[in-house]
Amino acid sequence: MDLLQKIMECKEEDVDSIIETAINEANSNAAKVEKLGFLNNGKSCSVFKGFIPLKTRIKYANLNMEDYGMESTDFIYEFAHFIKKYNINNKASLIHNLEYFVNSYFGFPGKVDRETIFNEIAWQTTTTDEEYFKALKNNKLGDLKGKGAAQCTERGALVQQVLSIFDTESYYCMGCVDLNDKQEGHCFNIVKRKNDYALLDYSIPIASYKENGSVQAYYPFVGALTNEEFLDFVNNGVIKSFDDYYMNGKEYEKTGTQRMYIVGEYEIKKDNKSGIGL
């Protein structure tokens, strides 16, 4: 019996103990890594498979102090209660409804940024410079809860933990996305499906529209990858293009544009489709 089935069949009061056991098991079995993200000398950890260890720190920008820890697990418990409340009883539904949960957990974009939040926490809990800089090393993902400051790095990290806990082979990826009119460094996820893989983007989602043209919901962008494309994408840095789309009711409609992704680089050179060094 997998974890999703356990949660759906257990009593509400048993959810937390089941999740606690799952987290402890996932953390003990996770591939140990000290830091993910923007590493020293312009390098990055481009692809990480599975549950991110709770002692790992995510470096989300190039400055030395711009990182946070992955100790937060509250969202895993909250999501377990979320899927039970809304009777999310299959993996496809879990993946799609996770977009709503991520937005609810972090809050929609506001005027405050990550650096301000982390600095304010450090100032409020310390009295000396030494304590202040030490406190900055205690920042954690959960400090951004409800602040509207989380970006793709944090959203992807939360998704990675949830999907991994719920027995989905998942990859946390750092690279770049090209949206025709702009490029930006970007973090996203890839999951293994039955016969192929799928790129999931919870930070640049697609909209689902009602008949009157108003937005009904947002869902993660899903782009299919064959087994061969997956290996080229994550190992060789081959650029992958996907047709962009939206949902009109239950129908998928192409927008006529494409979005391009690459792993391990923060810029896409459109005239170079060959592999890149990671």
Look at residue 135 and tell me whether its pLDDT is greater than 50.
yes
What tens digit of pLDDT does each residue of 185-208 get? Answer: 899 999 999 999 999 999 999 999
Residues 6 or more apart from 176 whose CB is under 8 A from it? 183, 184, 185, 186, 261, 262, 265, 266, 267, 268
What is residue 131's three-state secondary structure?
Answer: helix
pLDDT at 275: 40
Closest CA relative to residue 183, chosen from 258, 117, 116: 258
- Please report where in the chains the tokens 């509207």 appear, as a residue: 148
Give Cα 233 to chain centroid, integer Å.
Answer: 18
Who wins on pLDDT, 111 or 152? Answer: 152
pLDDT at 272: 47
What tens digit of pLDDT does each residue of 64-82 get? Answer: 668 899 999 999 999 999 9
Residues 6 or more apart from 74 whose CB is under 8 A from it? 142, 145
The average pLDDT across 71-94 equals 96
pTM of whole model > 0.95?
A: no
On average, the pLDDT of the chain sits at 90
Look at residue 44 and tell me whether its pLDDT is greater than 60.
no
Least confident of 3-7, 38-42, 56-60, 149-153: 38-42
pLDDT at 17: 98
> In the chain, pLDDT over 70 holds for what percent of residues?
92
Give Cα 28 to chain centroid, integer Å.
Answer: 21
Confidence of residue 265 (pLDDT cuts 50, 70, 90): confident
Least confident of 45-49, 59-63, 186-190: 59-63
pLDDT at 62: 65
Give, as one character, the DSSP assignment of residue 212: T
Look at residue 89 and tell me whether its pLDDT is greater than 80.
yes
Q: What is the dihedral of CA 124, 127, 132, 135, to 10 degrees?
A: -60
Look at residue 210 and tell me whether its pLDDT is greater than 80.
yes
pLDDT at 43: 54
Closest CA relative to residue 239, chosen from 156, 171, 176, 172: 176
pLDDT at 59: 87
The average pLDDT across 43-54 equals 86
Contact criterion met (CB below 8 Å) for 191 and 198: yes
Neighbours of 138 (CB within 10 A): 14
Strands 251-263 and 240-248: antiparallel
Contact criterion met (CB below 8 Å) for 171 and 234: yes
Neighbours of 222 (CB within 10 A): 19
